[in-house]
Amino acid sequence: MNKGERVVYIQKRLAELYPDPPIPLDHKDSYTLLVSVLLSAQCTDARVNQITPRLFALADNPVSMAKVPVPEIEAIIRACGLGPQKAKAISQLSHILIEQHGGVVPASLEDLERLPGVGHKTAQVVMAQAFGIPSFPVDTHIHRLAQRWKLTDGRSVTQTERDLKRLFPESSWNKLHLQIIFYAREFCTAHKCDGTVCEICRTCFPERVKAVLTKKA
């Protein structure tokens, strides 16, 4: 297969496997999603989903969260890792949302990226999953698979995002990034597949015999 054929096959097969992929992080609105995505940095979605019910029972909006002392937030989220930094960021961004955005999460990539603890990937997840605005957040799973499928050279996450946005229709981005993540977790993990084992890798590269060494995000 050439690259164009791989793109068509990959999108079709992922749509068959995951026709309606759910958002992995439990949330009820844009604010709880933002906090959940922030907590997911260097932490599994499953762990975040175990922790957020207690946090959101305490405060599930910027006004309530801004009143919670940072050490109290940290005590709840400690199991997510990077507790002090994340607790401080959650508190600070809650104050900023109140002071600068009327207590609501802005549907602007630039405004989101200005919030404490919110990087480009987190902002794009919120844009895609909270507001339905076409985005292609690239995490470690997507970065790894895009290299295994020769859709990017893997020089950086930024380059991978740029390449995937160029290859796939904009209308597919929001669903496709979730489909790739689910496929990566189920079939093409860092340990189960080295670029020669899973269905998509074998179909796209039937003659490949050597493991694919991927660059980390």
216 is known as an active-site residue? no
Q: Which amino acid is at 65?
A: M
Q: Which residue carries 């380059």 as its tokens?
A: 159
Which DSSP state fits 213?
P
DSSP letters spanning 112-144? HHTSTT--HHHHHHHHHHHH--------HHHHH
Return the structure tokens found at 196.
């020669």
Q: Which two tokens stand for residue 169?
A: 């229709």
Task: State the burial class of residue 148 (Cβ atoms within 10 Å of its Cβ: 0-12, 13-18, 19+).
Answer: buried
d(CA 73, CA 76): 5
Please tell me which residue in 139, 165, 175, 215 is annotated as part of the active site.
139
Any idea which residue has 């995951």 for tokens?
Answer: 18
Residue 121 annotated to the active site: yes
Q: Which are the catalytic amino acids?
A: 121, 139
